[in-house]
Amino acid sequence: MTHPAVAALATIAQWPELVEPIAEVREALTALRWHQALRRRIPESAAESRVRGAQASGELEGSRLPVDLVREYIAGARAWPVDPDPVEDVMRGIVAATAASEEIRGQVLGAPAQALARLHVAAIGHLVDADARRRPGARIPADTVGRPRAAGEVCEELVDVGPPPAPGEVAQRLSLVSELVRGHGAVPAVVLCAVVHAEVATVRPFTRGNAIVARALERALVQATGLDPTGVAVTELGHFRQTMPAYVGALAAYATGSRDGVRIWLEHCCQAYAAAAQEGRIVADAVLAGRLPR
């Protein structure tokens, strides 16, 4: 029997305002799949997509690094600074989470909660301090990593989206996310990926790193559901191309729970996925020509 939330997403996909944008996304990503470079060079193209995706995800966090540096960090050709500045701290987590999106690709549809936890460990694991609860000014307590917020724990991220749900509601919403992902066969992938991204980003289940994890999870789902099985579409850049204020504003609209709010977010995501496919073609062109984009 189909879960009611899964049925609701299937209904949303039929809203008149969304039918055409969803079809355009499918068309754009199908065209990307048949790019000449992706006949034999998918791994190279997907790796470069993750580079550009991590760089764009950093921009959405207000942390800017040149794409060539991000490429070196992802490849392991450059070591992270021993005494990093705030931008490097954020980017280290983004690079790790974006890389982990490839690792969880085979897990995310069957065990979404575990995949989410793995992404969170990747995103903030380098900030852990085992004594953080006892030492003032320390970074992140080890026992908060990879699990949802507990009673008394707060999240101060994405304040423009509105207050995050209380820990008790977080557990219910994450359970709903898992049901949606497990019911992926009954929901258009465009809608599923967009809604899961918004749920994680607006519910803010963790004390830190929520939007980073949401974008990495979206990347994994776009590939795992077959929306872009190559992993070359640069979903994060699709969101950033619409600017950070537009991204946060669309999330805030979704968080209202209204029909218009959900529509605004889904329209934003359709534009993002179409742009992601376009950027994927640029990446594939560069790989085919033997030159990586800078």
Tell me: the pLDDT tens digits for 62-99? 999 999 999 999 999 999 999 999 999 999 999 999 99
For CA atoms 38, 39, 41, 47, give the dihedral sign.
positive
pLDDT computed for residue 138 by the predictor: 46
The DSSP 8-state label assigned to residue 148 in this structure reads P
238 and 271 in contact (C-beta within 8 Å)?
yes
Between 3 and 219, name the one with better pLDDT. Answer: 219
Using CA atoms, how far apart are residues 92 and 74, in angstroms rounded to an integer? Answer: 9
- Read off the pLDDT of residues 273-287 as tens digits, 9 standing for 90 and up: 999 999 999 999 998
Residue 16 has pLDDT above 80, yes or no: yes
Q: Which residue has the tokens 């080890």?
A: 142
The pLDDT value given to residue 110: 96
pLDDT of residue 292: 67
Predicted local confidence at residue 129, as pLDDT: 72
Confidence band (pLDDT; 50, 70, 90) for 135?
A: very low
Distance between CA atoms of residues 198 and 84, nearest Å: 30
Whole-number Å distance between alpha carbons of 36 and 147: 42
Q: Is 7 helix (H, G, I), strand (E, B) or coil?
A: helix
pLDDT at 131 over 70: no
Given the candidates 3.20.20.100, 3.20.20.140, 1.10.3290.10, 3.30.1280.10, the CATH classification of the domain at 4-289 is 1.10.3290.10
Q: CA–CA distance from 248 to each of 11, 72, 87 (Å)?
A: 25, 29, 19
Please say if the pLDDT value at position 246 is more than 70. Answer: yes
**C-alpha span between 122 and 168 (Å, rounded):** 25
Could you tell me the two tokens for 102? 């490839």
Q: What is the pTM of this model?
A: 0.94
